[in-house]
Structure 1
Amino acid sequence: MNHDVIITCALTGAGDTVDKHPAIPVTPKQIAAAAVEAAKAGATVVHCHVRNPETGKFSRDTELYREVMERIRDSGVDMIVNLTAGMGGDLEIGPGEQPMEFGPGTDLIGPMSRLAHVEELLPEICTLDCGTLNFGDGNSIYVSTPAQLRAGAKRITELGVKAELEIFDTGHLWFAKQMIKEGLLDNPLFQLCLGIPWGAPADTTTMKAMVDNLPVGATWAAFGIGRMQMPMAAQAMLLGGNVRVGLEDNLWLDKGVPASNGQLVERVSEIISRLGGRVLTPAEGRVKMGLKQRA
């Protein structure tokens, strides 16, 4: 069991959730405010995507990331910033017998382009989504090939940014360990992502199987989506890991009650406390994760 727990709050994500919740953070001002709210509620880390302020859809715009980070810095509230580097891997296969007629959901770029904002802004942490995955019940695939991953891992390490490896299935973990074996990653973090169709399911057996296959001494966290967010947070702590909550993964505080990021952090903080643990501050989290000091 882990008694000293890092809480990551994933603030907004990239999914089509704007019409499903009354207050999804969309603009840089809203995303930064959500980060401050989460940090004041006890989050150690904030995980940031950005969205197009006009449409609410996902974006890869470096200037939007820059504005979010500047607003967070100007708030004076300490938090560890983790920027996604997973955008640009979406492929919507064409319908029926026209698979090469890619759909409007396609947003496919190379591994260095996925890191453009990380190169510019040098956050303390960025993500690396460690494999290809059937995403939902349609024709959408998230694409991250071994060659792309090797290139991305190498560049993240060169930049001195800590890689958080997002693991959506057991083969992703297998390949993540291969990249470590090849010297492409320096003591990365692991995030076990459970419940996304059709990756690893959000249940105790699957989480334990993945935890049992982590490198010895790895720093890791896990999350479940939707109603499994809090059960998987508790399970992660019991198995020795850290936790992630936030509106990226779950929109609800209780059945029919929309959540805020701060409320989700408060809810998981109470679970941690009742299980006999405590939440680490950002300063303590930096030590635990071995983050490099930024000027």
Structure 2
Amino acid sequence: MKIKFYGTRGAIPVCDRGFLEFGGNTTSIKITRDNGRVAIIDAGTGIRNLGKDLIKEGFHQNELFIGFSHFHWDHIQGFPFFKCAYDSQMVINILAMGKDREIKNLEDIFREQMKAEYFPISLEKMGARCNFLKINENDLRINDATVRVIKQSHPGDSFGYRLEDNDKSLVVCTDIEHGESVNQDIVAFCKDADLLVHDGQYTKEELLTRRGWGHSSYDQAIEVAEQAGVKKLIITHHDPEHNDVFLSKMEKACQARFSNCMLAREGMEITI
């Protein structure tokens, strides 16, 4: 299984010379399974380049799943620029798994952001056929892989994903707030994962003034990895105020505590 990061930034995309190493696009992750099938988590601005790369690589899969952690702007705002969605031969499954999701109408979320007031092309005119799958289940089998989700603490809802395929396991827990101590349900969900991708938007000092904003600190991401016994940790959803110099310093500090840890960079690819 290969995981490639196309968006690593949280809240809002940034474009500045001080943000080139770790990237300025918002969250989008490509997953390529051993059988070659591709799936995506979230459609932040990073999905624009993801789509361009798929087309350049000769992507021929006629059905594509995009699983969403949640639907804040920074996780959906790239979808109107996703080239594969303009292919009339493509079927795109917009997936929102999880019991007790607060959203009422999944299709309306995407239709609204593409109203004429905001975007020149409506959802219906993109070309691909979109299936909007709001599934009130925490476990699914999709194309012979097991997908599980867990509800996370985040304003407006958020769900973490665990993909198990060919004896390998990937967990993505972004936009998650733990509180005073790390959530033990999340620790159990991440148990023994080959790769954990975890929100780490703030330092522990910053987190003190951002309670209720729905994110984690670097220390909390590491604590989850330690308690869950994961093999590798990638910290993502970088704050838009944290430039390359800051993030490089934080990465060294994180690696001093958990050696098999990195901060996500745009274009980074990990094989598990």
TM-score of the two chains, using structure 1 as the length reference = 0.40
**Larger % of helix: which?**
1
Q: Which structure exhibits the higher relative contact order, with contacts defined as CA atoms closer than 8 Å and separated by 6 or more residues?
A: 1
**Larger % of strand: which?**
2
